[in-house]
Amino acid sequence: MPELPEVETIKNDLLPLISGQIIKAVEIYWPGTLRNASVETFSGEVVGRTIAGSKRRGKYLVFPLDNGKSIAVHLKMSGSLLFIPKGESLSASHVRAMFVFDDGSRLAFRDIRKFGGIWLLEKNSGFLDKLGPEPLENNFTPQIFQNILKGRDIPIKALLLDQVAIAGIGNMYADEALFEAGIKPGEKAGGLREDEAGKLYSAILNVLKKGIKSGGASVSTYQRPDGSKGLSHRDFRVARRRDQQCLECKTPLEYTKVRGRGTIYCPHCQK
């Protein structure tokens, strides 16, 4: 599933390509892609509108329109957004929706497993208010992180994946941050010492920033809007490295499940 670095990369890539574009038409090939509006309602609200930017909230992409409404997209397990310049064709299959722009370019929503979705958000919609703080924004401080951990009797890995607690972190970058901080994924969140919480806070920021700098991780179906792949996975030390050795100490990495989520860690480095 695309996580914060992947979604942030897509947001940044699309910003200069679609800002100011007028939506000439919308083609919906699978109506289930639209989560809160019919094809007719969605098309009626967005066709003729100008896209006013490209934003991210957690793992959601948000495209504000000039009428105050917004289009929100969640890629889930296998979704991607592909930009097709004017005059070029798209060979990809599993396209569920297509936005056609006034200049002849297009934006395709591709989703192999049909888990992703598109929402039409009203002005001042509270749809995304349920999400926790953004870990890369200035208001996510060490003290805020301490407060999130306080009293939480759940595994730290589970808390990092809780989008209501912190927005945007997913399975891969949670494993990477816990490895960098030297913390076992099953440790109770509320039981971390202050110094451990401080190390994990710094590790979260570090792995997310590195992921964005490398354009995200292309470990499955993720690709950038131009079809290219991200390189973040090349730096992974535990994530997606099941049945391999720790790069630091050569100890075999261990695989377990934390609250149903596959988790990889080093039993020697994460004590």
Q: Please list the active-site residues.
A: 2-3, 59, 261
| CA pair distance 269, 248, nearest whole angstrom | 8
